[in-house]
C-alpha cells in the first residue's frame, strides 16, 4: 500500500487563476543564506540574495517538477515551516556526453512571522500553487478537474537478476511519494499471477497499470486485458513499463523513440 493521501487540494480546477507568487525565504540548513523565490505558471526562479556578484539565479521549469510539499520541522520549538519542490531536469552525466534526468530537491524555510501556523499556511500556499501550476504546465488534455492518478504497480521479484523489487524500493517508491501519487503494489508470486489478476480486476479502480519487470510480465498483463469480455475498453487502460528485467527490449525501444 502507498503512503497516506497527500494534503493537497485535490480535486482542483485545471482552469482558473493560478497567479504568480513572490517570497523571500531562508536556506533550510542555514538561516543566514536568503533567497528570493518567484513562481510563475511555467517556472520556479530562485535567486540567492547576496552582496557579492556572481551567477546566483537558477530557473527550474515546472514541466520538470513532479511534486511539492509543505510541512513543519521536527523541532516543535521552531516557528518556521518548510516548502520543498522536487525536480528531475535533464543534466549532463558526469564524464559522459549524454544527458539524463537527475533529481534536484529545493527546500526553503518559511519564517515570515513568529506564528508557526501562519508560516505553515504560507508554505502550503506555495506548495498548492506550485502543484497546480505543474499540472497545468503538462501537455495533457484539459479535464474539468484533476485528481491524483490511481496506479496499480506490478513487480516481478524474479525479473532480471532478481533485483526488480530492490529497484522499486530504491528508485521508484521515493518518486511516487514526492509526486503524492497513491498506488497499490502487487508483487507477483508465480507465472500467470498478473495475467489472472488483470483478467478479473475492476479496472474502474485504476487510472494506469505500471509493470516493473522485463517484457514477460507486460506480455502477461496485455494478455490478461485481451482475455476480458470488455477487452476493447480494457486495452485502453494506460500501461507503463519500468525496466526491471534482463533484456528490457520494449522499455528500451519506447525510451529510444520518445527522445
Ligand atoms: N514470482 C514469480 N516467480 C517466477 N516467475 C514469475 C514470477 N512472477 C512472474 N513470473 C514470470 O516470469 C516471467 C519472466 O519475467 P520478466 O519478463 O519480467 O523478466 P525477464 O525474463 O528477466 O526479463 P526480460 O524479458 O527483459 O529478459 C514472466 O513471464 C512471468 O510469467
Q: What's residue 107's pLDDT?
A: 96
Q: Which residues line ligand 1 (CB under 6 A)?
A: 156-160, 188-191, 193, 213-217, 220, 245-248
What is the per-residue pLDDT for 99? 86
End-to-end CA, the chain = 32
Catalytic residue, chosen from 31, 78, 215, 230, is 215
Task: Using CB atoms within 10 Å of the CB of residue 127, give its burial: 0 to 12 exposed, 13 to 18 middle, 19+ buried.
Answer: buried
Average pLDDT, 10 consecutive residues per value, the chain (259 residues): 43 52 92 92 91 80 94 92 96 82 95 95 94 80 64 95 93 93 95 98 95 94 98 96 91 84
Q: According to the model, what pLDDT value does residue 10 have?
A: 43
d(CA 251, CA 215): 8
Look at residue 17 in the predicted model and tell me its pLDDT.
Answer: 46
Q: Is 215 a catalytic residue?
A: yes
Among residues 251, 244, 250, 252, the alpha carbon closest in space to that of 158 is found at 244
Ligand 1, atom 31: closest residue by C-alpha = 191
Map grid coordinates 505553515 to a residue.
120
The SS3 assignment for 12 reads strand
Q: How far is the CA of 155 from the centre of ligand 1 (A)?
A: 9
Domains along the chain with CATH numbers: 12-137 (2.30.29.30), 148-258 (3.40.50.10330)
What is the number of the ligand 1 atom nearest to the C-alpha of 192?
Answer: 31
Amino acid at each position: 500500500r502507498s503512503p497516506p493521501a497527500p494534503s493537497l487540494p485535490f480535486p482542483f480546477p485545471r482552469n482558473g487563476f493560478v497567479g504568480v507568487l513572490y517570497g523571500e525565504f531562508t536556506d533550510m540548513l542555514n538561516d543566514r543564506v536568503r533567497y528570493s523565490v518567484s513562481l510563475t505558471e511555467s517556472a520556479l526562479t530562485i535567486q540567492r540574495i547576496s552582496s557579492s556578484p556572481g551567477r546566483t539565479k537558477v530557473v527550474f521549469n515546472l514541466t520538470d517538477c513532479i511534486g511539492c510539499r509543505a510541512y513543519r520541522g521536527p523541532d516543535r520549538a521552531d516557528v518556521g515551516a518548510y516548502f520543498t519542490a522536487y525536480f528531475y531536469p535533464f543534466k549532463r552525466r558526469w564524464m559522459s556526453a549524454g544527458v539524463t534526468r537527475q533529481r534536484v530537491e529545493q527546500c526553503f524555510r518559511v519564517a515570515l512571522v513568529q506564528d508557526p501556523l501562519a508560516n505553515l499556511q504560507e508554505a502550503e500556499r506555495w506548495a498548492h500553487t506550485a502543484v497546480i501550476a505543474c499540472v497545468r504546465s503538462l501537455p495533457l488534455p484539459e479535464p474539468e478537474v484533476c485528481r491524483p492518478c490511481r496506479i496499480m504497480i506490478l513487480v516481478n521479484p524474479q525479473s532480471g537478476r532478481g533485483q526488480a523489487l530492490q529497484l522499486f524500493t530504491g528508485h521508484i517508491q521515493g518518486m511516487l511519494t514526492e509526486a503524492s501519487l497513491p498506488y497499490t503494489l502487487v508483487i507477483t508470486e508465480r507465472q500467470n499471477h498478473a495475467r489472472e489478476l488483470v483478467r478479473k480486476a475492476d479496472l474502474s479502480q485504476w487510472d494506469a497499470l505500471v509493470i516493473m519487470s522485463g517484457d514477460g510480465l507486460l506480455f502477461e498483463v496485455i494478455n490478461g486485458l485481451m482475455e476480458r469480455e470488455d477487452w476493447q475498453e480494457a486495452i485502453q487502460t494506460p500501461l507503463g513499463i519500468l525496466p526491471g528485467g534482463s533484456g528490457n527490449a520494449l522499455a528500451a525501444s519506447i525510451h529510444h523513440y520518445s527522445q
